[in-house]
Amino acid sequence: MGFYKNIGALRSSQPKSRYISVEKTAFAFLDIETTGLYPERGSRIIEIAILSRNNPRFLFNETASTITDKKLAQQLPLLSNYLQSGVIVGHNVNFDLQFIAYEADRLGCRGPNVLFIDTLQLAKRLCIDIQDHRLLSLIKFFNISTNGPLHRAEIDARCTRALFWKLINKGGIETLSQAGIKQLNWSTF
């Protein structure tokens, strides 16, 4: 029976144990797109996608010419809620989380503490037979279809979701600990 009475309750909350099965965990697949690499130099978030196992949960789409502090500040509390909706999975997810943390701090918002898994780190550990661990290279390696152009948040999040399950299968991974789960403490990030 453990911590949760049923799988529905488990999937609606963040797991507290690193040894919970990946099959019983709610995941939130995250990707952002930005106008550049360095928020401290003025780069901005223009797209955010968070997907569940099957559907989009949160989508934010702007362009470099239409993004404003007001628009982004309105989305950050919603984003914060969705970041707590499961274990966050992203490819090079540290970049995404650092960018979100920077913007949240700049706009006077606080984010939640989150649990996350980085498919880049997981791929480096499991796919030692390939040298390039960029998302595009891994998509080709695992023969994952994209259904659209990469470098769009929703498309990249879908590809990351497919990649995650390919890596889980390749590595015979059963628990969050085996998948390399980490915790982000927002106040010290």
Query: What CATH number does residue 59 fall under?
Result: 3.30.420.10
Report, in this order, helix, strand and coil percent for the chain, each rounded to 5: 45, 20, 40
The model's pLDDT over 62-105, given as tens digits with 9 standing for 90+, comes to 999 999 999 999 999 899 889 988 899 999 999 999 899 899 88
Q: Tell me the pLDDT band of 8, cut-offs 50, 70 and 90.
A: very low
Number of domains in the chain: 1
Rounded distance between C-alpha atoms, residue 37 and residue 44, angstroms: 9
Q: In this predicted structure, what is the pLDDT of residue 189?
A: 52
Q: Is residue 4 part of a domain?
A: no
In order of 1, 27, 136, 140, 162, the CA distances from 143 in angstroms are 38, 22, 10, 5, 10
Report if residue 31 sits inside a domain.
yes
Q: What is the pLDDT of residue 118?
A: 97
Question: Is 159 part of a structural domain of the chain?
Answer: yes
Residue 188 confidence class, pLDDT cut points 50, 70, 90 = low
> Structure tokens of 48?
């955010």
Residue 16 is predicted with a pLDDT of 55
In a domain, 122, yes or no: yes
Domain membership flag for residue 158: yes
How much is the pLDDT for 2? 40
pLDDT score, position 18: 67
Query: Which residues form the domain of 62?
Result: 26-188
Which residues partner with 34 through β-bridges? 45
Question: Which tens digit of pLDDT belongs to each residue from 104-114?
Answer: 889 988 777 88
CA–CA distance, 142 with 153 (Å, rounded to integer)? 20
Inside any domain, residue 6: no
35-64 pLDDT per residue, tens: 999 999 999 999 999 999 888 999 999 999
**Domain-embedded: residue 9:** no
Q: Is residue 12 part of a domain?
A: no
